[in-house]
Amino acid sequence: MSRLHVFDLDGTLLRGTTASLEIARRLDCLPELRLLEEKFAAGALDTRGFAAEVCRLWADLTPGAVADAFATAPWIGGLPEVLADIRRRGEHAVVVTMSPDFFAGRLTALGVDEVVASAFPPLPLRTAPDPAGILTPADKVVAVERVRSRLGLDRDACAAYGDSVSDVPLFRALEHTVAVNADGVLRALARHRYDGDDLRAAYLLARSALPGADGRPGGETPHPPLKERV
């Protein structure tokens, strides 16, 4: 395994939205969810308080509703192609997100090698989540360090893709970072910046700087290069 690609979910792989918003849209409770997000943004709720509140809001959520929300969500263009290219090269793709595992976990069917997400009770949500299983921004660094160490990779072999302040700790920990449709805070931290609807372009920015298998910056494994959409 020569490289590790770490993707954020909300606002990065999901264009202009979050897993929670897509679920709320499916359950017709968008106003209530937006109110919770306002409280979170104001600091009145942390990630664990937010998770407890959405469990109450989504008490009747079913696997079928989650599947529908996932299928109809606005995924960034080029995602299947990027995941296929990573796998073809013998590299590793991981999604690390504070969103619910019952939504994010479905990404493995698209080609993500593993997903690290907030742990929620089984559906339907009859109990509150264990606060210890709900991720915080700092937990993203812990998760990536765990995966990186298990794969025997240096930090220099890791690339991270994100969009918001929740990715700040990870972008501070890694050198190879791409801000994807990002806010100003993350753009200032990122090594590369990409705005648009084609993940392949952001991925190629990261590949251009990652050390190659022969140890030279930007070197590539002997696979045909992924082409940008024209």
Segment 76-127, tens digit of pLDDT: 999 999 999 999 999 999 999 999 999 999 999 999 999 999 999 999 999 8
pLDDT band at 159 (very low <50, low <70, confident <90, very high): very high
Query: How would you label 107-131 residue by residue, b for 16+ Cβ within 10 Å and e otherwise?
Result: beeebbbebbbbebeebebeeebee
Closest CA to 2 of 107, 158, 149, 118: 158
Q: What is the pLDDT of residues 5-40, one digit of tens each?
A: 999 999 999 999 999 999 999 999 999 999 998 998
E strands of the chain, at which residues?
Answer: 4-7, 92-100, 114-118, 158-162, 176-180, 192-194
At 92, give phi and psi (nearest 5°): -130, 130
CA distance 7 to 92: 11
Looking at residue 213, its pLDDT comes to 40
Q: What is the CA radius of gyration of the chain?
A: 17
Return the H-helix or E-strand segment holding 97. strand 92-100
Under DSSP, the state recorded for 75 is B
Q: What is the pLDDT of residues 37-60, one digit of tens each?
A: 899 888 899 999 999 999 999 999
Domain boundaries, the chain: 4-16+76-209, 19-71
Contact between 94 and 147 (Cβ < 8 Å): yes
pLDDT band at 226 (very low <50, low <70, confident <90, very high): low
Q: What is the mean pLDDT of residues 163-188?
A: 96
pLDDT band at 160 (very low <50, low <70, confident <90, very high): very high
User: 71: burial class by Cβ within 10 Å (0-12, 13-18, 19+)?
Assistant: exposed
Looking at residue 215, its pLDDT comes to 35
Kindly report the pTM of this predicted structure.
0.91
Average pLDDT, the chain: 91
Looking at residue 40, its pLDDT comes to 87
Which residues partner with 94 through β-bridges? 6, 114
- pLDDT exceeds cutoff 80 at 212: no
Q: What percent of the chain has pLDDT over 90?
A: 86
pLDDT band at 204 (very low <50, low <70, confident <90, very high): very high
**Token digits of residue 188:** 């200032």
- pLDDT exceeds cutoff 60 at 145: yes
Under DSSP, the state recorded for 12 is T
Contact between 7 and 174 (Cβ < 8 Å): no
Quote the CATH superfamily of domain 4-16+76-209: HAD superfamily/HAD-like (3.40.50.1000)
